[in-house]
Structure formats: structure tokens, C-alpha cells
Structure 1
Amino acid sequence: MILIAIAKNAEFVTNVKLEQFFWILSIGLVSINILMFYFMQSIGKRGYLLKERALLELETRNQMHLYETITEKMQEQRKISHEYKNQLTCIQALCKTKEYDKLTQYVDRISEDVLHDLDYIDTNHVLINSVLNVKYQEAMENDILFICKINDLSQLTMDASEIVVLLSNLLNNAIEACKKCNGKRFLKLKCVYEAGDFILSVRNSYDGKLNIVGEQLHTTKKKNRESHGIGLKNVQQIIKKNEGYYVMNYTDTEFYISIIIPQGTHK
């Protein structure tokens, strides 16, 4: 507005010094506007980067929590394995004394503990086993039918931490969605190595509520809107880095995502 006012009244300025002052003022205002533009742009970019860093740190903390859970499970299993020797000794003693009623009661009691802590899934990949068994146990505790198709994954060449990110994010999202279902709860997982490709697909029930903006899937949680989409964003980055591809689809009751990532020399 000041520049327009100066331009309109420039013809009435006869004093040379005043005219120079107006020119200096005009150039100064233009320069200030340009500087302010870049300054605001810089602040906006910095704010975006800070938010992105905060979300990534949140995701890292979530992954660390998963690792801690896995570690605790492994320690529990080691502790249980040490107790097996004593349990077998007790069974042997009851057999020798022919106390079969007590033997039956004892075997029934320890069988429940063994089955609860048993690793149901074995892919010949330690980290994948840990994640899948932890999530399988979580699904059972929440009355979610967990159906999986697996094979030998020992030949995978992907970074192990990236595999954990893929599995934990997809299974966390699937279990969280199933928890919101009032009716049938199910989670179908395919995690296989076929023809040089790592194939990972998840199909799960959900309550029919999705928050999709463009190609981004956002959370429907009111308490977690700041971190919406960060999990799937990490998944997409890993897929792109490993030259893979994915498809997502959904109906009113089911959500589906499938990922294919070439491995080793097959890329």
C-alpha cells in the first residue's frame, strides 16, 4: 500500500532529496518483503522438519518398546526351559511311585503353562519369529482369529530392522482395527519367500471407518492425530528403498494391504 501511494504521488515530488528518499524507501520495503518471505518459508520448513523428527522419534520409541517386549518374552522362555529339568524329574518320580492321579494332575497343570508360552510360529528367522509370536499372542488375548501362511524366511536379504518395522506397523494397525470391531474379528497374514521375492500381505476386519486423504491413510484416533499416517509412511519409505511395490484395498468390513519386495540378486 505504501509503494502504491508513493507511485501515485511520485509526479508531485519536486524535491530531489525527497525523491531519493522515496526511492530508497521503496527499495527498502521491497527488500524487507523478500526477506520476510524467505524468513517465513524457512520457519515453516524448520517447523515441518521438527514435527517430522518428533514423529520419527515416536515411531522409534514404539519400535524399541516392541524390542523390549520381545526380549522379555525370550528371557521368560529361557527361565521356563531351566524349569523343564525339574518338571521332568517330578514326572519321573511320580511314575516310579505309580501315583498316576497326581501325575495326571501335574501334567495337566504344567501343560497349560507350556502351551501359553509356546512359540506357535517358526519361519527360521529369529526376529520375524519374535515379532509374529508376540503379535499372535496379543491377537489371541483380544479374541482375534489369527490365520497365517508362512514358509522358510532364512534367505531374506533385507535389513532385519526394516523387516521388523514392516511387520510391527502392519500388525499393530491390523490388531488395533480388529479391537474396534463389535462382530467378527480376524487377521489373515501371508509372510513368505517365493521366487526371489519377499511377499507380505495383511487382511483384517475393521469397523468400516477409514480416514483417507489423497493416497495417505490417517488414523481415526482422536488422541493421536499428530502422528497419523507416520507408520504407513515408514512402510512406504522402506518399500521404495528396497525397490518394491504395494497395493491397498478395502471394503466396508475388510482392509487389505499386500507388499512385494525383491530379494538379493533377484532385484
Structure 2
Amino acid sequence: MNKKVIHRLADITVLILILSICEAVGVELLDYILWRFQILHVDPIVSESMEITFSKLFVLISYYQIIAKLWRDDLNRTFNKSQCLIELFVILYSIANLAVILLVISKVNSQTDHILILINMGCILIADLYFSYFARFVEENSQLKIKLKLLEQQSILQYEFYEEQGEKYNESVKILHDVNKHLKMIENLYEANKDDMAKTYAKEIGQMLVPLCLEDYTNNPILNVLLNDKKRIASLHSICFNLDIGIVDLGFMEPIEVTTVFGNLLDNAIEACDLVPNHRYIDMKLDKYNEFIVINISNCTMPIEKWNFGKPVSRKGKNHGIGLLNVENIIKKYNGSMVLEEANKKFSCKIIFNL
């Protein structure tokens, strides 16, 4: 029997145990409520039915509102207002119906009324089950929309990256197309003993070729192109971009994942620096320590007003911050960890991959 099957069986066993505990707690809670409000003379069949109903309601609410979220590690999920309202409605609906039953149960004498109460309790269970399922449906729909936005953001990032490379390629073709003409012109200037003019012309040609020359920061061609591009953008924004990169193999990541991680983090750093009036900087360190690959990106920032589950809330409002979720998903894929911190107007992002 493989480990996956063993873990699955263990999960099921633990889940059954937890649900059994919840059911027992529900029964004890009902007994306490009946004792507390002095509701003592209740028909045994009705009392037993109430225990079953109350315990099952307690299990349903506990499972859908707490256990399922913890079990699936859903604490970092985004919850919209509709979903929260539905879940609140389920709880209030159950409490209201049970309160009504508790108020009238001691006054019921006829068998017909007992049957109607039993039917009512059954309807409560069915309705709660339906509403809980509907709440789960709304939740899944919300998460699918978020995943769609993640994919859209990743596609846009990939498109913009290749579009930039296409523009650079077209520019290089134009320059190389005229390179023979430029060389011929320099040769003619030297033959005409116009050395100073030839040197000036050669420098101008050199400046034209600068955009085509990439500094080799890493052995990863995609990351190399991206770092050159971000450093150029940082320079245009008056940001001091410092790189400290060791010998690191990022071959375990897909090219688009490299672009997504570093592209999003550096774009966020540049945006944060733009809000700072002066002394703008971005420091990026990438190196390997034993079996760990460590990425550390820090930048100047204005004080971050709001955090949510260890991540800063985007100042741009709704539907922003998707890029950071993309980064987080890729890090989780490779069993890595990410820590975001802000102190003394300095924001830092530390990522560790355990290879």
C-alpha cells in the first residue's frame, strides 16, 4: 500500500473522529439548552428527534464553516460579500428555527403537533444542507474567478514580455541592416583624414548598439533578459537597482514561471519606489546556500497601511494584487516559502526553495 493511500485512509479516519466529536458536542449542547430554559417535559420521540436534528446541524455548520476550510488549507482564500452573507444566513436560519421549536415544544400535546414538529426539523436539516451546498458552490465559483484572473495576468505578463523582445529584435534588425553603411562611412572619414569626426561617428554608433548589449547577471537566459529590462526601467524611474547574484540553477522552474516570479516582484518593487519622493532603491540578492536557493528583494516604500494574511493589501483596490498570488502559487508548487516584511520604510520579500 503506497503512502498516498495510507494518508488518505488516515485523513478519513481523523475526519470521522472529528465529526463524531462535533455530533456529541451538539447533543450535549442541546441538553444544556433544555436544562437551562427548564424545558423538561418533552415527548421521548420528539426529544430524540431534536437531538438528532441539533447534532446534525452542529456537524453541518462545523464542517462547512470551520473543518472544511482548515482541512483544505482555505484560510488564505478570498471570500466575497455574497458568500459571507449566505453562510451567515445559514447560521441565523438554523438558530431561529431551533429557537421557535424550543419555545413551543413544551406546549405541544397532540400527536399531530408532534408530527408537524418532526417534519419541521427534517425540513430544517434539508434546507441547511441545501444552503450549505449553495454556499460551497458560491465559494468555488469565486475561487474559479480568481484563478481565471491569475491565468489572465500570467498571460498578459507573458505577452508583454515577448512583445518587448519583439520590439528589441526589430530595433536590432534596423541597426544591423545599416551596419555596413555605417562602417563604410567611418572608413571614408578616416581616408579623408577626418579622424575626430570618425571617432565621434563611431561613438554614436556605439550608443546605438548599447540597447542590444545585455549584461550577463545569471546563467538563465530568460532571467538575464528580464533583469536587464527591469534595470533599464528602474533607471528611467531614477531608482538605484543593485544586483548581487551568485551561481544559481533555476532549471527546475519553467521559463514562464521565472518571468512570473521575478517580473511581478520587481514590478511591485518599482511601483512602490515610485511613491517615494527620493532615495529610491531596489536591492536583489539571489544565491544558493547548501541545498537552499534564496531570493531576497528589498526596496524603499511608503508605510503599508493594511495587511491581509501576511500580504500587503494593494492600494489599487479590487482585483489588484493578483500578481503576488501568482508568485505564491508557483512557490507552493516547488515546496518553497515566502515571507513579506515591512519596517522603517523598507519592504523585503524573502523566498526560499529547498531542493
Q: CA 1:251–1:58 in 2, change beyond 3 Å: closer, same or farther? A: same
SS in 2 for 1:191: strand
Report the alpha carbon displacement of residue 167 of structure 1 after superposing the two structures with TM: 0.9
In angstroms, what is the RMSD of aligned CA positions? 2.9
Counterpart check, 1:233 vs 2:331: no
| Letter in structure 1 aligned against 2:319 | E
Identity of aligned residues (%): 24
Deviation, 1:57, is 2.0
CA contact (8 A) 2:338 2:350 kept: yes
Q: How many residues align?
A: 257
CA distance in structure 2 between the aligned counterparts of 1:30 and 1:248, rounded to whole angstroms: 44
Q: Structure 1 200/70 Cα, relative in aligned 2: closer, same or farther at 3 Å?
A: farther
* Structure 2: distance between partners of 1:155 and 1:30: 53
**What is the 5 A alignment of 1:189-200?**
189-192=284-287, 195=290, 197-200=292-295
User: Residue type matched to 2:203 in 1?
Assistant: D
Per-residue deviation, 1:129: 1.5
1:47 is the counterpart of 2:142 = yes
Q: In the superposition, relative to structure 1, how do residues 253 and 98 fare at CA in structure 2: closer, same or farther (>3 Å)?
A: same
Residues 49-74 of structure 1: per-residue CA shift (max 9 Å, x gap): 32332244234323322232233223
Counterpart contact for 2:310–2:340, Cα < 8 Å: no
In the alignment, structure 1 segments of 5+ residues that lack a partner are none
Q: Which residue does 2:186 correspond to in 1?
A: 91
Q: Distance in 1 between matches of 2:169 and 2:283?
A: 25
Q: Does 1:180 align with 2:275?
A: yes
Question: Quick check: 1:209–1:220 contact (8 Å CA) kept in 2?
Answer: no
The structure that is strand-richer by fraction is 1
Give the whole-Å Cα distance in 1 for the aligned partners of 2:186 and 2:340: 52
Show the counterpart of 2:108: 10
The 3-state SS of whatever aligns with 1:226 is coil
Could you tell me whether the CA contact under 8 Å between 2:304 and 2:312 is conserved in 1? no
* Greater Rg over alpha carbons, structure: 2
Partner of 1:124: 219
- Is structure 2 residue 348 aligned with structure 1 residue 256? yes
* Displacement after TM superposition at 1:175 (Å): 0.7
Higher relative contact order (CA 8 A, sep 6+): 1
Q: 1:242-253 counterparts in 2 under 5 A?
A: 242-253=334-345
Structure 2 residue runs of 5 or longer lacking an equivalent are 1-95
Query: Displacement of 1:23 after TM fit?
Result: 4.3
- Where does residue 300 of structure 2 map in the other structure? 205
Contact 1:124 1:154 (8 Å CA) reproduced: yes
Q: Does 1:165 align with 2:260?
A: yes
User: 239-248 vs 211-220, which deviates more?
Assistant: 239-248
